[in-house]
Structures are given as structure tokens and as C-alpha cells.
Amino acid sequence: MKITVIATGKLKDNYWKEALAEYQRRLSAFAKVTIVEVPDKASQSGTEKQIKAAEGKSILARLQQLQAGDTTQVIALDGRGKQRSSTQLATHFDDLKLRGKSHFVFIIGGSHGISPEVLAVAQESLSFGLQTWPHNLARIMLVEQIYRAFAISNNHPYHK
């Protein structure tokens, strides 16, 4: 099983990096995890639409490099996406694996969101709810929830 997280921007503070590394380490018992960072364009001049488009091009280029195929499930984090409990997420991942998916690619956009072009490529969208989360925290939350879902599926005591 492979997990790839394509995230806009870099984790700058050590406490974010350490938290991410811890969940990557835990998740490695179940899957190979790769974090791919694409440049955050928010500080550049341009409209919100132009910035999202520029970030989207970077994300799409990275997706193309992954040579995603029929065994890949691309999941975008988007506020309009489907909300799932941890148990529902575990069941969903199990279902995807039964349907032959062996590579989950998660996309975290920049501060303006994900471009329509990237959303069109994703097979589904996932939401962490109506609240707004800092991108650094969203990345940690995503990897933690992926780990939690795998722990649930494998009857690991972490979820309890």
C-alpha cells in the first residue's frame, strides 16, 4: 500500500515537522508514505484565481510524475467534500482496497483552495468539516486520520 500526500507549501516549524514524522513513522507499519511539497504561490502577485491556477499546475505536474493509474485513488481535501468519521474513513479505505486501489494520493491545496482543474482529476473530495484549519495542522490531521483509519482496519488499539 502506498500513500502520497501532495501539499502546497512547506512545514517550517520543527514541531509540525516532528508531528508529521511521528505519524509517518506509525503509518509505515501499514503503508509506504511519501510527502510531496509544491510551492505556495500565495505571496506572489495575482488574483486568487491566478494563484490557485499556478498552484494547480504544480499539483497536476506532480500527479503526472506519479504515473497514477487504475490502482490509484486521488482524494482532494476540500471544504465541500464528504465528511466522514474515523470509522467511516476506515471502512471507505477498506472498500477502496477491495476494489483494487493500492495507492491513495491526497491533495492539500494552498490558502485559496484547490483549482477546479485539480478537483476535476480527483475521484473524490474529503472535508474536515466547516471549520477552517491552518494548512500545517491540516497536513498533520490528515496523516493522523489516515493512520487512525489503518489502525481501525487492523484492530490496532490506537483508536480506542
Q: What is the mean pLDDT of the chain?
A: 93
> Could you read off the pLDDT of 53-103 as tens digits, one per residue?
999 999 999 999 887 688 999 999 999 999 999 999 999 999 999 999 999
> Could you read off the pLDDT of 133-153 as tens digits, one per residue?
888 999 999 999 999 999 999
Q: What percentage of residues in the chain have a pLDDT greater than 70?
A: 98
pLDDT of residue 35: 96
Domains delineated in the chain:
2-159 (3.40.1280.10)
pLDDT of residue 84: 97
Query: ∠ CA(123), CA(35), CA(92), 5° rounding?
Result: 35
Cell numbers found for residue 91: 471502512
| Euclidean distance between CA atoms 145 and 113, whole angstroms | 20
Find out whether 141 and 106 touch, Cβ atoms under 8 Å. Answer: no
pLDDT of residue 145: 97
Say whether pTM exceeds 0.85.
yes
Q: For residue 20, give the nearest of 156, 152, 138 by alpha carbon.
A: 138
Confidence of residue 42 (pLDDT cuts 50, 70, 90): confident
User: In b/e form, how buried is each residue of 1-39, taking b as 16+ CB within 10 angstroms?
Assistant: eebbbbbbbebeeeebeebbeebbebbeebbebebbbbe
Least confident of 91-95, 105-109, 129-133: 129-133
pLDDT of residue 160: 61
Find out whether 95 and 131 touch, Cβ atoms under 8 Å. Answer: no
β-pair partners for 127:
83
Mean pLDDT along residues 7-17: 95
Q: For residue 128, give the nearest of 94, 90, 80, 96 by alpha carbon.
A: 80
Find out whether 128 and 97 touch, Cβ atoms under 8 Å. Answer: no
pLDDT of residue 45: 80
